[in-house]
Structure 1
Amino acid sequence: MDIIYEIRRRHLVQKQTISAIAREMGISRPTVRRHLKTVEEPRYARVQPVSPKLGQFEAQLTQWLELEAKLPRPRRRSAHRLYEGLQELGYGGAYDSVQRFVKRWKASHHGPKLTEAFIPLEFARGDACQFDWSHEQVELAGVLQTIKVAHFRLAYSRQMFVVAYPRETQEMVLEAHNRAFAFFGGVPARLIYDNLKTVVDAIFTGKERKFNRRFLCLANHYLFEPVACTPASGWEKGQVENQVGNVREWLFTPLARFASFAELNDWLAQRCRELAQRLHPTQSERTIAACFADEQPLLRPVTATFDGYVEDMMRVSSTCLVRVDRNRYSVPASAAGQAVSVRRTADHVHVVADGELIAAHPRRYGRDQLICDPWHYLPVLEKKPGALRNGAPFIAWELPKPIQLVRDRILKQPKGDRAFVELLMLAGEAGLDALTVACELALECGIISAPVVMNELRRLIAPHLPAAAIAVPDGIALTMEPLANCQRYDYLLGSTNVH
């Protein structure tokens, strides 16, 4: 613009000719004539740069974009992941070429994306941690399923922690906090949430909230302040909102495959440590791990882990079962018809009566499953031995092989049901290992019956008497000890050949 101004000033004010201006300024006369007609600031249309190295890979990239446009948004790959895919096919160009192509393709198919304005936030060390859930797809034990992932992010250092669960119920929330605080090695002063139902029971005007009572027990145990965001204001915990998208790209695209939740969560924790080696987004000269090392000493130490169960009062059915999350779990027969406390965690179901633990089961997910402990039904089996053959707890009971062989033989004998139940009742006191050994001994001798097995079992569990010397008074001591003489038996039988 300064050249245009100088040309117009010389010609219009100083009355110089076009030839003189061109000669003195070292430009051509057509350029002078063109600038004399310019009044507004010139605007140049940006020419999109060509990507010669994309070339043959452009068709593949277009195909990927068209296919992934039909997928749910969480399963679409970002431009960087598409770039990595092209590299595996031999692409040697720059990432910028792929990024520009993807941007143009999305703009032509979905329209330009509007940018929303936000306010930058800053947090002190040890002050805040943000929490959120996301839904991801993984393959566990060969089955494709949607899982729930709990996200934690320390707002100062950007250190993250993620853990996966089958659902996002309250016991999962409590257990996720225990894992996160153990991973961080401490507790921040505040935790920021959106208004999820497992945390907030009611939303009032402004920032006032009614938090869930069980969740407040967690906050009281670890002494952190829960903060709920304004509804529909995700920017108040924007770091963890952004983390959800990044984790989906980094960890769950392409599809993650593991044998169980335990293996998946071990891998997620390891990846969180590895990703902490990246540069901090605002302190570009330091890594996230270095910033976390500064923040970690300011976290409140964890003195004891919170017992993160959710409790419900239930009545035990006549079949000695309680229902938890559409599955049924057994309890001892002595509790049938009684009210008990059922405490569920992310991994276990515990049944408590009169302050004592009476049953514990690993928690199952799915529907309409029956989880039984056969020992719970032994008192009932003693009165109803016929239920041994068709009782659901005993059909699926995986007994050791020797016990199975003995059971099959005894059940074919008269009154075999009751006889084998008596063995089980005795094994309830002695243990299944002792019964296994007794059955092995019976199989070795070749005589398989309930009395033989019971005799072997009682010999195994009989207490061993101490080998102590018997004190004999001096007055009754023998002067001549008797000698063993087997011929005395022949004498008693009437034999005359006694020498």
Structure 2
Amino acid sequence: MLKVDQYDYIRTAHRVYGKAIKELARETGHSKNTIKKILKQEYIGYKQRSKQPYPVLGPYIQEIDRWLGDDKDKPYKQRHTATRIYHRLKSELEYSGGETTVRRYVREAKLRLGLTNQQAFIPSDPTTAQEAEVDWGNCQAVIAGEPVKLKLFCIRSKCSGKHFVRCYPCERQQALFDAHIQAFSFFGGVFPVLIYDNLTTVVQKVFKGKKRHLQESYNRFKAYYNFDPRFCNPGQGHEKGGIEGLVGYARRNYMVPIPHADSLDELNTRLLDDCMAYGEHRIAGQTQSVNELFESEKQVLLPLPTTSFSNVETFMVRVNKYATVIIDKNRYSVPTRYAYMRVQAIVEIDQVIIYWSGRKISTHHRLYGNNKWSLKPEHYLELIRQRPQSFDTARPILQWRDQWPDCLEKLLEHFRRKNGVTKGTREFVTVLMLYEKYAVDKIEAAVKEALKSNVGCSNALKQILHSQNISMESQFDPLSNWETLPPADISAYEQLGGIL
């Protein structure tokens, strides 16, 4: 193939120095026709081959085409790759060529057979404030010292890019509803159209085309807020590429390094601050910030209802012999006197409230997972006092005992030493029951005073608490120091008597 320096020499020799075509052909070894072409046109470099020869791979091409043709009916993730074809050629057909040649041919063959995965996209400008995309992602955090896996809810305006991110222990329907409610409040309104994957918490059944049979409870939720849900084709998450990008962005920027928080609420407060700060960001290709773009969207968002959607679930359940109710595969305690009763459980996203005959009898923080127990010691203390031998093995006491102060442990040992194990335990349980009436710091102060005074029963400790209470009340009683008050001024009464 002619090189550029040869092209330069031939044209310069002929045009500048007047050498003849015949002479140039003899000097360079090129034909006279080639010399004439060089003198007539620009340098064109290497010419693309109309057909790529495969001298070593040629005998195997028919077999490769057959393998690729059979892939048309196979699952997308179980089709031949170029690497897999290369290894099959070597192991099954003793191919001796290189992998690069196989890759080049497979790329051409897939294009010819219509097996390429890459798709072209149509550039579009979303209608202002009409659409937002919704999705879940996975992340990790350390909550109260424990590493936990969380679900990251993300919603993003297609037009302005303003987004809202919040973490939940799960992606169940109740969490989905709460996330929407929090997001609507953040945006100050409801987007007319929300775009989803085919979430099972939303879609009960997917039909051919765009038709979907929605979950009944989700239907009620969308009817309350009046937005229109739209769904991607199955397996086509790229149809909402903006939110797919947000999930990764939020995980890389808001959750790195892995955040530590005392509670999930604290973590979500930080995420809210991150979302607010993102409003000052300017997306590539835009002349305005996210907040500036969103200002025009706010005008056409659907207004929020006067009251938020009642995102609760109600269950009628029976209390079992352990004085617990089982809700969503987890157990929550009630006072033991309600054992075997039917009660009503109101389940919110973060708490469980239990009622009997319209009266609240127990409140618990909501548990997620399976076979977890939320036991409140005060629910069992009366029964434990009746059966003191169960004290050391009672689960509510064991859970509490890991957290209570050393002074309580010392008081237990002191009571048992003075009264014997059985009576001493009863006296100690009576002290524990005081936690329902008095503040923690007051009880701990009274326990320390009781240990210092070497008292041996709960009544003495009650007396200490009672005296402390009287002392505290006297500090705020204006008549408690009446003896030191100055004499009353009765001159005003004398004037009144003169008038009468």
Q: Same fold (TM over 0.5)?
A: yes
Q: Deviations over 1:273-296 (max 9, x none)?
A: 3444333456x2222221012212
**Residue 161 of structure 1: aligned partner:** 164
Question: Is residue 415 of structure 2 the alignment partner of residue 410 of structure 1?
Answer: yes
Distance 1:406 1:342 in 2: 37
Q: Which amino acid aligns with 1:294?
A: S
Q: Which amino acid aligns with 1:407?
A: L
SS of match in other structure, 1:244: helix
Aligned residue runs from structure 1 range 429-448, under 5 A: 429=437, 435-448=443-456
Deviation at 1:318, TM superposition (A): 0.8
| Identity between Structure 1 and Structure 2 (%) | 29
Q: Deviations over 1:161-212 (max 9, x none)?
A: 2222332222221222233223223222222212111112233454443322
Deviation at 1:43, TM superposition (A): 6.9
Q: Which amino acid aligns with 1:333?
A: T
Match of 2:199 among 157, 182, 196: 196
Deviation at 1:458, TM superposition (A): 4.7
**Residue 494 of structure 1: aligned partner:** none
Q: Which amino acid aligns with 1:116?
A: Q
Does the 8 Å contact 2:134/2:243 carry over to 1? yes
SS of match in other structure, 2:360: strand
**Residue 374 of structure 1: aligned partner:** 377
Aligned residue runs from structure 1 range 6-45, under 5 A: 22=15, 33-35=36-38
Distance 1:272 1:37 in 2: 65
SS of match in other structure, 2:138: strand
Does the 8 Å contact 1:137/1:255 carry over to 2? no
**Residue 420 of structure 1: aligned partner:** 428
Question: Is residue 123 of structure 2 the alignment partner of residue 115 of structure 1?
Answer: no
SS of match in other structure, 1:396: helix
Deviation at 1:138, TM superposition (A): 5.3
Gap change, CA 1:454 and 1:249, over 3 Å in 2? closer
SS of match in other structure, 1:291: helix
Gap change, CA 1:416 and 1:446, over 3 Å in 2? closer
Aligned residue runs from structure 1 range 470-489, under 5 A: none
Does the 8 Å contact 1:170/1:310 carry over to 2? no
Distance 1:143 1:403 in 2: 27
**Residue 265 of structure 1: aligned partner:** 268
Deviation at 1:321, TM superposition (A): 1.8
Distance 1:212 1:141 in 2: 35
Deviation at 1:156, TM superposition (A): 1.8
SS of match in other structure, 1:407: helix
Gap change, CA 1:421 and 1:137, over 3 Å in 2? closer
Q: Which amino acid aligns with 1:293?
A: E
Q: Which amino acid aligns with 2:410?
A: L
Gap change, CA 1:136 and 1:443, over 3 Å in 2? closer
Distance 1:210 1:353 in 2: 37
Gap change, CA 1:244 and 1:454, over 3 Å in 2? closer
Distance 1:228 1:217 in 2: 18
Q: Which amino acid aligns with 2:186?
A: F
Question: Is residue 288 of structure 2 the alignment partner of residue 286 of structure 1?
Answer: yes
**Residue 461 of structure 2: aligned partner:** 453
Distance 2:15 2:291 in 1: 62
Gap change, CA 1:467 and 1:228, over 3 Å in 2? same
**Residue 82 of structure 1: aligned partner:** none
SS of match in other structure, 1:256: coil
Indicate the larger mover: 125-134 or 295-304: 295-304
Question: Is residue 338 of structure 2 the alignment partner of residue 339 of structure 1?
Answer: no
Does the 8 Å contact 1:316/1:338 carry over to 2? yes
Distance 1:466 1:150 in 2: 56
Does the 8 Å contact 1:139/1:255 carry over to 2? no
User: Once superposed, what is the RMSD of the aligned Cα atoms?
Assistant: 4.3
Distance 2:479 2:283 in 1: 74
SS of match in other structure, 1:452: helix
Does the 8 Å contact 1:175/1:345 carry over to 2? no
Question: Is residue 158 of structure 2 the alignment partner of residue 150 of structure 1?
Answer: no
Distance 1:441 1:145 in 2: 41
Does the 8 Å contact 2:392/2:398 carry over to 1? yes
Q: Which amino acid aligns with 2:293?
A: C
Question: Is residue 217 of structure 2 the alignment partner of residue 209 of structure 1?
Answer: no
Deviation at 1:384, TM superposition (A): 2.6
Indicate the larger mover: 331-340 or 455-464: 455-464
Q: Which amino acid aligns with 1:446?
A: N
**Residue 232 of structure 1: aligned partner:** 235
Gap change, CA 1:43 and 1:245, over 3 Å in 2? farther
Q: Where do 5+ consecutive residues of structure 2 fail to align?
A: 1-10, 26-33, 49-99, 109-115, 483-500
Deviation at 1:430, TM superposition (A): 5.0
Gap change, CA 1:292 and 1:420, over 3 Å in 2? same
Distance 1:466 1:242 in 2: 66
Aligned residue runs from structure 1 range 121-132, under 5 A: 121-132=124-135
Q: Count residues in correspondence.
A: 386
Deviation at 1:393, TM superposition (A): 0.9
Deviation at 1:153, TM superposition (A): 0.6
Aligned residue runs from structure 1 range 55-74, under 5 A: none
Q: Where do 5+ consecutive residues of structure 1 fail to align?
A: 1-17, 46-103, 470-499
Distance 1:174 1:278 in 2: 28
Q: Which amino acid aligns with 2:411?
A: V
Distance 1:390 1:139 in 2: 31
Q: Deviations over 1:33-60 (max 9, x none)?
A: 2347879987778xxxxxxxxxxxxxxx
Gap change, CA 1:451 and 1:243, over 3 Å in 2? closer
